[in-house]
């Protein structure tokens, strides 16, 4: 018995094997901690893949070529777009085609149109099985994610083109064209007047001499503008165009509708081919009062319906006004002294434009610089004084200043005789489209 007692006593005092016991007892929490790190690292890696797929789905569902974006263009009211939800689901699944190690518990995608905004939201939840956490009763980890994207839809805009085709637009398009007319006319006239009663009228002379007049350039520039609009729009009916001028002849001078507002830009281009200089039936017809700005601008104001918010059923409204900015009309309230009786020749009265802008309609003005005609006695007597600024002709002239006052902020462009009217019209159109996006 003493031997057994001694043996037991010696074992209890021997500490050489304690480290094994302590290590064995310590392994459980150590393995658990390391296992947690491994499981959480793996879960985080899979979560990143799922979140990346969700981000791709929310952004991709709003791409300009996506089903939702295209469908939204024809919607006249707000609401969810089912095609967008379906597309987001496909994008999400496609980005996870080669991923494994998770179970998708739920996935929801929604694309919604609100005004001119498109918003997509994607929500997901997934379970990821653990390898080590099961030791402490945690067999799965759940991860949740969300992604949201917003994009502005292209705005719908109606453009009303008001084009000055009065006799003053029969002047040569460039200084060399002006000089050619002066050199080939007995009265040194730079205008290609379209006088039907004169068999040797200067309009036909300009054609025979190969002189390009401003009305010729305006015609081709307007046609080019239709191509620019067609190439710029996202939706086939995003831009509508209406074309107006000052009338076919002096006897009927006033607003004339050449092409009613339409989204058919190819038809608008064809109609623009009919833009031509106003005809006169002999000298002094209508007392040469062929630019009735105080009549034309209020008339176009009545043509333009109330502007909307830029959605398909409620487009924004822009007046695109191209002119050399000088009125010639019967107007007792003339800004300048009248000539014979009540004939008014003066710079544009900018208050006419204010009445239009006060309705929320934007005005884009392309001022075709009124050329100085020092060989023309009438010009020198009545117009030269307000076609000069402190340093000579435009841009400091009263004509230019009034035209700029007519325009909405940032939508004024002056084109000199040496510049291209077509390039200027296209540039002004792009400025108007950009302005529409900012204004929205």
CB atoms near residue 366 (< 10 Å):
26
Between residues 241 and 117, the one the model is more confident about: 241
Average pLDDT for residues 183-188, to the nearest whole number?
82
Residue 356, classed as helix, strand or coil, is helix
pLDDT at 391 (0 to 100): 40
Handedness of CA 391, 392, 395, 396 (dihedral sign): positive
Average pLDDT for residues 232-237, to the nearest whole number?
88
Residues 6+ positions from 427 with CB-CB distance below 8 Å: 413
pLDDT at 203 (0 to 100): 82
pLDDT at 268 (0 to 100): 97
* Contact indicator for 263, 225 with CB cutoff of 8 Å: no
CA terminus-to-terminus distance, the chain: 102
pLDDT at 407 (0 to 100): 96
**Rounded to whole angstroms, how far apart are CA atoms 128 and 181?**
86
Q: Six-digit token pair at 134?
A: 């099961």
- Domains of the chain, residue spans: 21-152, 157-439
* Contact indicator for 241, 159 with CB cutoff of 8 Å: yes
Angle at 74 (CA atoms; ends 73, 75), nearest 5 degrees: 95
* Contact indicator for 242, 318 with CB cutoff of 8 Å: no
68-118, pLDDT tens digit by residue?
A: 998 888 787 889 999 999 999 999 999 999 888 999 999 999 999 988 889
310-343, pLDDT tens digit by residue?
A: 888 889 999 999 998 999 888 888 888 887 677 8
Residue 26, classed as helix, strand or coil, is helix
* Contact indicator for 178, 191 with CB cutoff of 8 Å: no
Between residues 268 and 376, the one the model is more confident about: 268
| Confidence class for position 32, pLDDT limits 50, 70, 90 | low
| Confidence class for position 350, pLDDT limits 50, 70, 90 | very high
CB atoms near residue 223 (< 10 Å):
17
pLDDT higher than threshold 80 for residue 254 = yes
Q: What are phi and psi of 149, to 5 degrees?
A: -140, 150
pLDDT higher than threshold 90 for residue 163 = yes
- Name the pTM for this structure: 0.76
**Rounded to whole angstroms, how far apart are CA atoms 388 and 395?**
9
- Identify the H or E element spanning 326: strand 326-330
Per-residue exposure over 73-112, b if at least 16 CB sit within 10 Å of its own CB, e if not: beeeeeeebebbbebbbebbeebbeeeeebeeeebebbbb
Least confident among 22-31, 60-69, 309-318, 373-382 = 22-31
Place of tokens 């884009």: 364
Average pLDDT for residues 421-425, to the nearest whole number?
87
Per DSSP, 298 falls in state H
* Contact indicator for 122, 88 with CB cutoff of 8 Å: yes
For the domain made up of 157-439, give the CATH fold: Rossmann fold (3.40.50)
Pair type for strands 239-245 and 157-163: parallel
Residues 6+ positions from 7 with CB-CB distance below 8 Å: none
**Rounded to whole angstroms, how far apart are CA atoms 4 and 199?**
147
Mean pLDDT, rounded, of the chain: 84
Per DSSP, 273 falls in state T
Q: How distant, in Å, are the alpha carbons of 70, 117, 152, 248 from that of 149?
A: 17, 10, 11, 52
- Identify the H or E element spanning 347: strand 343-347
Per DSSP, 388 falls in state -
52-63, pLDDT tens digit by residue?
A: 999 999 999 999
Please list the residues that pair with 151 across neighbouring strands. 118
* Contact indicator for 422, 220 with CB cutoff of 8 Å: yes
**Rounded to whole angstroms, how far apart are CA atoms 146 and 107?**
10
| Confidence class for position 345, pLDDT limits 50, 70, 90 | confident
Residues 6+ positions from 357 with CB-CB distance below 8 Å: 363, 408
**Rounded to whole angstroms, how far apart are CA atoms 122 and 145?**
8
**R_g over Cα of the chain:** 38
Q: Please tell me the total number of residues recorded for the chain in this structure.
A: 440
């Amino acid at each position: 018995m003493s031997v057994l007692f001694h043996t037991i006593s010696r074992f209890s005092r021997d500490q050489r094997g304690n480290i094994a016991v302590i290590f064995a007892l310590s392994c459980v929490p150590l393995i658990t901690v390391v296992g947690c790190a491994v499981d959480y690292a793996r879960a985080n890696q899979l979560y990143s893949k799922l979140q990346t797929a969700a981000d791709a789905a929310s952004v991709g569902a709003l791409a300009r070529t996506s089903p939702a974006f295209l469908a939204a263009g024809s919607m006249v009211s707000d609401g969810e777009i089912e095609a967008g939800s379906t597309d987001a689901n496909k994008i999400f699944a496609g980005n996870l085609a080669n991923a494994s190690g998770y179970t998708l518990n739920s996935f929801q995608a929604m694309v919604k149109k609100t005004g001119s905004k498109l918003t997509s939201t994607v929500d997901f939840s997934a379970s990821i099985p653990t390898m080590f956490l099961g030791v402490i009763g945690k067999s799965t980890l759940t991860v949740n994610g969300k992604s949201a994207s917003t994009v502005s839809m292209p705005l719908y805009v109606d453009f009303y083109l008001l084009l000055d085709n009065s006799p003053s637009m029969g002047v040569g398009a460039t200084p060399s064209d002006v000089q050619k007319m002066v050199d080939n006319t007995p009265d040194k006239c730079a205008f290609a007047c379209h006088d039907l009663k004169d068999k040797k009228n200067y309009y036909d002379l300009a054609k025979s001499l190969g002189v390009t007049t401003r009305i010729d350039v305006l015609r081709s520039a307007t046609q080019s503008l239709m191509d620019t609009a067609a190439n710029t729009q996202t939706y086939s009916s995003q831009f509508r165009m209406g074309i107006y001028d000052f009338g076919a002849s002096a006897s009927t001078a006033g607003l004339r509708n050449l092409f009613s507002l339409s989204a058919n830009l190819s038809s608008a281009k064809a109609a623009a081919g009919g833009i031509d200089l106003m005809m006169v039936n002999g000298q002094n017809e209508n007392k040469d009062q062929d630019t009735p700005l105080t009549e034309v601008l209020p008339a176009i104001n009545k043509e333009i319906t109330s502007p909307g918010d830029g959605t398909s059923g409620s487009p924004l409204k822009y007046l695109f006004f191209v002119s050399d900015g000088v009125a010639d009309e019967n107007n007792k309230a003339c800004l300048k002294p009248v000539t014979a009786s009540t004939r008014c020749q003066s710079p544009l009265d900018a208050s006419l434009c204010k009445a239009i802008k006060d309705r929320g309609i934007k005005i884009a003005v392309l001022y075709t610089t009124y050329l100085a005609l020092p060989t023309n006695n009438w010009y020198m007597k009545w117009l030269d004084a307000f076609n000069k600024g402190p340093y000579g002709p435009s841009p400091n002239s009263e004509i230019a200043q009034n035209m700029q006052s007519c325009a909405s902020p940032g939508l004024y462009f002056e084109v000199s005789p040496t510049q291209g009217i077509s390039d200027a019209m296209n540039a002004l159109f792009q400025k108007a489209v950009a302005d529409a996006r900012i204004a929205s």
